[in-house]
Each structure stands twice: as structure tokens, then as C-alpha cells.
Amino acid sequence: MQHNRIKIYSILLKVAILSIALLFSVVSVAQKKGKNLVPNPSFEKHKNKSNSISNAIPWKNVGTVDYYMKADKKDTSRYKGAHTGTCYAGLRFQAVYKEYMYVALTEPLEKGRTYQFKMFVRLMGQSSVTVKQLGVYFSDDVFKSDMIFDKEGIVDTTYKKGITGTFNWIPIHGDYLAHGGEKYIIIGNFAPKVKDDFVRQNKWDIFEFKEAYYFIDDVSVRKIIISTDSIEALKKLQNKFVYTLPDSFATGQIFEIKYLKFEPNSAKLTKASYPFLDEVIRVLNDHPFMEIQINGHTDNQGNEAANRKVSKERAKAVYDYLLSQGVINPMTYKGFGPTQPVAANDTEENKAKNRRVEFVIIKP
């Protein structure tokens, strides 16, 4: 297990804690998001009882994109129904057939501006395959059948094992730098041949009809606004260090969440801990199907039963914070008290090493 341990301080390139905290405080204060430029973003407005997405004005469809004003009978997951409200859409992908949905933004994008795209998707349980990629294309023009989707215009989530989750709503999101004048967003799969993007749910059934069906809800495009003063502060800091976690993971890897602070004799996180937890959130959002376990540990001072209790409470505090920020990864938490030290409890420095919270990769 020790060989699998990856210390975050080595990944942080041994940077100063105060500098890291300052950068993240600047980013959190500096970055605000503008209004949603997507009209009827959760499809609640409709003109009649039609089951086509074109009923949710002003959305348009390529193919027969479905529109639901209530949970469909085939939508049998315990998460059935819309992500918010009551209405949602459905996209279908087959070996030689795929659907798109698109809409004109309320205003064209500005050159040089960065925008955040976000939507929620959910796989229908009866799907025989999944797709590796779903996302959005920012277009200057309305959809055309011979349209070429340049990579520069795509914001997507790509997962080689297929976008599945646990039939819960999964966020697809990312930032887009506008070249200026983009007026439309097109949602779908942009692989040249969608069948090459399929991942079979049942790898033994090679003869079953291949279809992936995803529900769509809560689409947004928002301008990211950063103040001039904050930009200057970021320029001064950005060359000093890199604060990042790796992009690939393996079962059994352990990551210590360094610099977490709790209120004295308490499991309440201090605000100074949030920037470091936010980096964990970034990684989990990029790997929404990765399963983790959050472990709390203490040194050997005091009563062992009490130490186990506080270590579990602190692991739960981290778990609760991640949930509150929208993390949808499968997660559990445990408290081990002083039973798994990483150093001898012979000095204050070593005891501090043993008082820690880690997350373990259960399933990458």
C-alpha cells in the first residue's frame, strides 16, 4: 500500500501553502458567471402536448428528439423524471442513426470571452450500449446536414468506458473560448461514426440491437467574468506553482488531502480548507464514474474509541462538503482513528503526519 501512496505535496511541486491559498481565494472571488444565454434551458415552456423537442420553443431537433412533460413509462430508474422541474428531452443513438438538438442563443458570443457550458444527462436503463462522448458544439450557423464539427468548437465529456453512471443525472460541462459571433449550440455526439463510439453494456450479447438513449435537462451557457484587478493578481502568481492532481488513476491509489484544517476539537472544516477540496472536486467532476472512499485518521494521543469517532466525523465532513458542491461520484467514508499510522508517533511532526484525511480510489 505504501508504494501506491501519492503525496499531494510532491504533486504541488513543494509550493508554499500561503501562495496556494491566495491563488484559490483570488479565483473564487474573481470568477463570476453571467446570465444563462440558453432560452428555455430546462424545457418547461411548451406550446402544445407534442412529444417532440420542437414543442419546447425555441428548441429544434435533427431526427425525432423526444420531449417529456412527465416521467415516461420506460423511464424506470429510481431517478426517473426531470433533473429539475417536470420536463426533459431524450436523444437516441444507433449504429447508423443519431440525433441532435439545437437552439439559438439569446445573444451571440463575444470574441475572446470564456463561457461555461453545462448540461445534465442520464442514461436510460434499457440502453444496450453507451457512447464514449457527449457534448455541445458552438456554431456560427444553424444546423446543416453536411456540417463539419471542428474540434475547436466542441465542449464534451469523453469516457472510454462509456458515459453510464448509476442511471443518475451526470453533469457534462466545460469552458469554451469564443472566436466571436457564435449564435447556436448543438447538443449530441460528434464522433464521425457513432457506432465506433459505442460501448456494449452486455459484452457477451453481440447480436442485440445497439441503441444508446440519454435524457437531457438543464442546459446553460454563461459568460465567465473576471475582474481586472484579479487578473493582475493572477498574473503575478500563475508562474510560481502548479496546483493539480493527476489525470489518470488506478485502483488502490491513496491521495492525502493536505492542508485540511478543522475547528479545534471539532470535525467542522475551516474555510481555508475549501480551496484544496475544490481541487478534489475538479478531478471528480472530470471522472464522474470514479468511485472513492474517504478515510479519516488520527495520531495515538487520547482514547482510541474517541479518536475513531472524530476521524469518522472528519471524513464525513469532507464527504458532506463534496456532496454539497454537486459531486455525484459513488463515495463512502470511514474513520480509522490511530490504527493506520504513516509515521511513528514519537514527535509532534510525525503525529501531525498521522492526523490526516485521504481518499482512496476504489474503482477508477
DSSP 8-state class, residue 292:
E
Question: What does the pLDDT look like over 143-170, one tens digit per residue?
Answer: 998 899 999 999 987 777 888 866 788 8
Confidence of residue 206 (pLDDT cuts 50, 70, 90): low
The span from the CA of 210 to the CA of 248, in Å, is 29
Q: Which one, of 167, 317, 239, 267, lies nearest residue 13 by Cα?
A: 239
Rg value, the chain, Cα: 23
Q: Write down the pLDDT at residue 226.
A: 63
Q: Write down the pLDDT at residue 166.
A: 67
Question: Over 90: is that where the pLDDT of 356 sits?
Answer: yes
Question: What does the pLDDT look like over 212-239, one tens digit per residue?
Answer: 999 999 999 999 876 544 445 444 444 4
Provide φ and ψ at 196, rounded to 5°.
Answer: -75, -10
Pairing of strands 254-256, 5-6: parallel
Q: Which one, of 317, 214, 305, lies nearest residue 261 by Cα?
A: 317
Mean pLDDT of 90-99: 95
Q: Write down the pLDDT at residue 364.
A: 86
- First-residue to last-residue Cα distance in the chain: 16
The span from the CA of 358 to the CA of 352, in Å, is 14
Question: Over 60: is that where the pLDDT of 15 sits?
Answer: no
Mean pLDDT of 322-344: 91
Q: Which one, of 72, 84, 165, 93, lies nearest residue 119 by Cα?
A: 84
Which domains, ranges and CATH numbers included, belong to the chain?
2-16+241-363 (3.30.1330.60), 33-226 (2.60.120.260)
Mean pLDDT of 200-205: 73
Is 69 strand, coil or helix? coil
The span from the CA of 148 to the CA of 234, in Å, is 37
Mean pLDDT of 66-88: 91
Mean pLDDT of 336-356: 92
Question: What does the pLDDT look like over 239-253, one tens digit per residue?
Answer: 443 345 676 788 999
Q: Write down the pLDDT at residue 244.
A: 58
Q: Write down the pLDDT at residue 326.
A: 81
For the chain, give the percent of residues with pLDDT over 90. 57
Helical spans, DSSP H, in the chain:
8-11, 17-30, 228-237, 274-286, 304-324, 348-354
C-alpha grid cell, residue 273: 480548507
Question: What does the pLDDT look like over 286-320, one tens digit per residue?
Answer: 888 889 999 999 999 989 999 999 999 999 999 99
Q: Are residues 222 and 329 in contact, defined by beta-carbon separation less than 8 angstroms? A: no
Q: Write down the pLDDT at residue 185.
A: 98
The span from the CA of 183 to the CA of 163, in Å, is 28
Q: Write down the pLDDT at residue 90.
A: 96
Q: Which residues contact 350 (CB under 8 A, 6 or more apart)?
A: 343, 344
Q: Quote the pTM value.
A: 0.64
Q: Which one, of 281, 279, 283, 176, lies nearest residue 222 by Cα?
A: 176
